[in-house]
Structure 1
Amino acid sequence: MDKKLVVSWMEAGMVQVPNLLLSKYKQMGLDEKDLMLLLNIMSFIQSGKEFPTPEELAERMTISSTECSGILRKLIQKQVLSIEDGVTGDGIHFEKYSLTPLWERLADELSLEKKVKKIQQTLQDENDLYTVFEQEFGRPLSPMECENLAMWLDDDGQDPVIIKAALREAVLAGKLSFRYIDRILFNWKRNGVRTVEQARKHGIQFRQKSHHPDRKTAESPSKTIPFYNWLEP
């Protein structure tokens, strides 16, 4: 390979294109011409020319300078490109393109995507929660029970994972009722229980406190596991 060719190629520089831009430009209302024009502006800025003319941009593309001007106006209207004032070291004012609006729009798109995924995950968790309750109760939930679940989620801000942990605690205790589960959740919230691991440890601690076998009972192995009665004050 010609070394001079490689050197000239490297000296010409490279434009780094964020993968997020390639995957999100369509969602931002842009097309391939818009994207290519933005990439060329990035290239010009990188080479030190911060305000290329429509004619200079058109020389690199397969569209006319008139169309370039139209696309530039559209990009500015869509708030993915802006024109800013700059000042040289000699105090000379000039205009330059800024891609800051583009990066901000991409950040908004990414943030929105995360929010949508979080909402979808929350809805999935809530649907799973209703299914788990119906499986454990062995029947469809009554309207009042559904309202209780909605209250735990919406009014109390309980995590579906914590509600499932309280359900498991009730199942293990053999006290499968919404009143019992509500008491568990109230106790956990009052004691700052926020994770499944904290709930597990909290339950163990309470069961240990509530179970004080006498010597005779201790000598004979117990066939049942002691559980804390969450309904007691």
Structure 2
Amino acid sequence: MDMRFMLNLIANGSVNVPSLLLEHYPEIGLNEQECMMLIQVHSFLSKGDDFPTFDNLADRMTLDETACADLLRRLIQRGYLSIVQKSDNDFYSESYSLQPLWEKLLRTSYGKTVETTSKNNENTLYTLFETEFGRPLSPIECETLAMWMDQDRHSPMLIKGALREAVVSGKLNFRYIDRILFEWKKNGIRTLDQAKTHGEKIRNHQQRSTGGSRAQQSAPEMPSYNWLDKR
């Protein structure tokens, strides 16, 4: 890349290089030379040149024509670049496509976001449980909490709901919370609204079963239901 090209680039408007590429190229297996080659291809594409020659690319790189050809071939073989066929009024031509690169970057970025969100949710749950229990969680309890999220795929929202149910019921222990989550999963419950409706249905049935005299008594805002006695 020479000074004349840089001056022309500045004068004609710079190429917008996605920050995802600059920030994550090592994570998707690219080195600096490969990243620069893809940036150069992106530059040509943005200027309307869909299939720059090896000579064109070599003029912007510290590589010769043969080295550029080898590098492009490796990028295509490794799934960072593709060649697609374009049709315009029955005239067919070839074009480079950076779609594979963007897909890799988006998967990497999305995966990091999900991982960060999951970790934050996990930390929040640990803090919430320790607050409600009034003590640090034991190693077994920490493992159980992680298992609810990782193996059983319970959402943090539902785990918080089960914890609240245990608190209100006065049965604050992991076995009781685990039973609540088990029953919710068995009944296809995925949201707190569904859990609330399901709980009200069970409590109403329980109240009817106790007889009319007890039904006349004032009930608490959220009556206790013993999930461990569920049959």
Report the TM-score when normalising by structure 2. Answer: 0.70
1:39 aligns with 2:37: no
In 1, the alpha carbon distance for the partners of 2:201 and 2:86 equals: 66
Q: Where does 1:51-62 land on structure 2 (aligned, <5 Å)?
A: 52=53, 54=55, 58=59
Equivalent pair of 1:129/1:164 in contact (CA under 8 Å): yes
Superposition deviation, residue 104 in structure 1:
0.8
Greater RCO, CA 8 A, separation 6+: 2
Q: Structure 1: where are the runs of 5+ without partners? A: 1-16
In 2 relative to 1, CA 142–90 (structure 1 residues): closer, same or farther, beyond 3 Å? closer
Cα displacement string for residues 28-70 of structure 1 (whole angstroms, at most 9, x for unaligned residues): 3423x75245322553546xxx454625984xxxx48x75735
In 2 relative to 1, CA 57–40 (structure 1 residues): closer, same or farther, beyond 3 Å? farther
In 2, the alpha carbon distance for the partners of 1:149 and 1:111 equals: 27
1:77 aligns with 2:74: yes
Q: Give the partner amino acid of 1:115.
A: G
1:229 aligns with 2:226: yes
Cα displacement string for residues 116-142 of structure 1 (whole angstroms, at most 9, x for unaligned residues): 211121121111111111111011112
Structure 1 match to 2:8: none
Which secondary structure does the structure 1 equivalent of 2:224 belong to? coil
Structure 1 match to 2:133: 137
Larger Rg: 1
Structure 1 match to 2:124: 128
Which secondary structure does the structure 1 equivalent of 2:18 belong to? helix
Equivalent pair of 1:211/1:226 in contact (CA under 8 Å): no
Equivalent pair of 2:125/2:160 in contact (CA under 8 Å): yes
Structure 1 match to 2:155: 159
1:149 aligns with 2:149: no
In 1, the alpha carbon distance for the partners of 2:85 and 2:223 equals: 75
Equivalent pair of 2:161/2:192 in contact (CA under 8 Å): yes
Q: Give the partner amino acid of 2:151.
A: D
Superposition deviation, residue 105 in structure 1:
1.3
Report the TM-score when normalising by structure 1. Answer: 0.69
Superposition deviation, residue 220 in structure 1:
4.8
Cα displacement string for residues 140-186 of structure 1 (whole angstroms, at most 9, x for unaligned residues): 11222223223323332322221111111111111111111111111
Cα displacement string for residues 59-83 of structure 1 (whole angstroms, at most 9, x for unaligned residues): xxxx48x757355643443334456
Count, aligned residues: 204
Q: RMSD over aligned Cα, in angstroms?
A: 3.7
Q: Where does 1:20-35 land on structure 2 (aligned, <5 Å)?
A: 21-26=17-22, 27-28=24-25, 29=32, 30-31=35-36, 35=39
- Identity of matched residues, %: 37
Structure 1 range deviating more: 139-148 or 181-190: 139-148
In 2, the alpha carbon distance for the partners of 1:88 and 1:171 equals: 68
Q: Structure 2: where are the runs of 5+ without partners? A: 1-14, 26-31
